[in-house]
Structure 1
C-alpha cells in the first residue's frame, strides 16, 4: 500500500441505512398510491443506483415522479434509522490516528451522502466524499484521490477497486457472500469493520 488514502463505500459498509431507504421508498409509494412492498424485496438491490432499485422492486414506476418524493422523504422527513455499521467509527478513528485519509465513493445521490454520514455520526472522520458513482464509475474518484484500497460490501465495489488498480477489501455486511466477493477480486474479506485496522496493517507489511 503506497499511499495513505483509504476509500469506502457508504451503504451497508459505513452506514446502516437499510431502514431509512426502505421507509423512504414506502413513503413515496404511499403518495403515489402504489401497493406496499415488503422490506425483504429490497435486500438484493442495496448498493445499486436509486432508479435501478425502483425498477427491481416496482417495475414500470415513473422515476420522474418517484425520485423527488423519495428525496423529500430521505432528506427532509428522514424516516427510520441511519446509524454506523458495527466497527465503523472505531475503524475511521484508527485510520485518522495513523495518518490515513478517508474518502467515501457511493452510488447514492451526492448531497445525500453528506446527510447519511452526518446522521450516522461519521462525517467528522471523512476527508472527502463522492456521490452518483456506481460500479466501474467508482474507479474514477479512487484514481483521482490516489487511493490505495477500497472497502465495500458489493461485488461492484470489488470490480471498481480492480479497475482503479487498488486493493479491494470486502465486508460481508451486504447482499454478497465471501465467495462472490473473492471472485469479484477482493484481496481480503472481513466480517465487519472492527477487523479493518488489522487488515490494513497486514496489507502495509
Structure 2
C-alpha cells in the first residue's frame, strides 16, 4: 500500500466484539433495581444505540441519568469479562496493520468501557473514540481520514455516508442485510471472516468511489 495509510473504522459492539450477554444483563440489573422488567428480546435490538436513549424507553426522564451512571459502573465490573472478540476480528485488525493500514474504533459506548473491552479481548486499534452515535461518528471518521467504516447498526451506515466513507455492514448484530442496505450500506457481509476475505476488494472500491 503506497501513499497515506488506508484507514478502516469499526464500530465496537456486535461488530468487533460479542457484547450481547454483558449489555443485556447490565441493562436488566439497572432496570430491575427501578422496578422494571425487560426481556432479552426487548433489549437485543437496542444494542449499539446511545445508552440514555435506550434507558429512556423504559424509565421516566428523571431516572435516566442515575440509571446510566449505575449501568456504566456495573458494566465495568460485570460485562467486560463476558465480552469476546467476534470470529475474525483479531485477524482482520492484524491484516490491516500488516498491509500498512490503520484501525480506528468509533463507538457509542463510553470511552472507558471501549478501552476496557478492547484490552480484555486483545484488540489493538490505532485510535479509539467513544460516546458518539450515528452521524456524529462522521466527525472522528473524517478527522482521521477513514476511507471505510464497518458496523452492524443502521446508525453506522448513516455515519459512513456522512463521512463519505465506504459503508460496510455486518449482520452479526440486530440489523439484517435489508435494514443495513436501506440505511446506505455499500456492501454487506455475514461476519468479519468474510470481510477479511474481501478486504482488498472493498479497499479498491473505497479508493475509486
Which whole-Å deviations, capped at 9, do the CAs of 1:146-175 have from their partners, x for residues lacking one?
A: 011000001111111011011001101111
C-alpha separation between the residues in 2 aligned to 1:173 and 1:65? 31
Paired with 1:129 and 1:113, the residues of 2 have a C-alpha distance of 8
Aligned to 1:119: 120
Superposed, which structure 2 residues align to 1:55-66 within 5 Å?
55-56=56-57, 58-60=58-60, 62-66=63-67
Residue 196 of structure 2 aligns with which residue? 197
Q: Distance in 2 between matches of 1:93 and 1:48?
A: 27
Residue 54 of structure 1: aligned partner? 55
Alpha-carbon distance change, 167 to 73 in structure 1, aligned in 2, over 3 angstroms: same
Q: TM-score, normalised by structure 2?
A: 0.89
Indicate conservation of the 8 Å contact 2:52/2:65, yes or no.
no
- Residues in 1 aligned to 2:70 and 2:171: alpha-carbon distance in whole angstroms: 31
Per the alignment, in what secondary structure is the counterpart of residue 197 of structure 1? helix
Match of 1:85 in 2: 86
Please tell me whether the aligned partners of residues 29 and 36 of structure 1 are also in contact (alpha carbons under 8 angstroms).
Answer: yes
Q: What's the counterpart of residue 6 of structure 1? A: 8
1:98-150 alpha-carbon deviations (Å, 9 max, x no partner): 1110000001111111011112221xx21111001001000000000001100
Q: How does 1:1-205 map to 2 (within 5 A)?
A: 3-30=5-32, 32-56=33-57, 58-60=58-60, 62-78=63-79, 81-122=82-123, 125-205=124-204
Native 8 Å contact 2:5 2:102 kept in 1: no
Alpha-carbon distance between aligned partners in 2 of 1:79 and 1:102, rounded to the nearest angstrom: 21
Q: Which secondary structure does the structure 2 equivalent of 1:119 belong to?
A: helix
The 2-side partners of 1:25 and 1:132 are apart by 17
Instruction: Measure the CA separation in 1 of the matches of 2:117 and 2:148.
Output: 22
Secondary structure at the aligned position of 1:185 is classed as coil
Q: Which runs of 4+ in 1 moved over 3 A?
A: 77-80
Q: Tell me, yes or no, if the aligned pair for 1:7 and 1:151 is still in contact at 8 Å.
A: yes
Q: State the 1:81 CA deviation.
A: 1.1
Answer whether contact 1:83 1:121 (CA < 8 A) is retained. Answer: no
Taking the aligned partners of 2:48 and 2:167, their CA distance within structure 1 comes to 16
Give RMSD over aligned pairs: 1.8
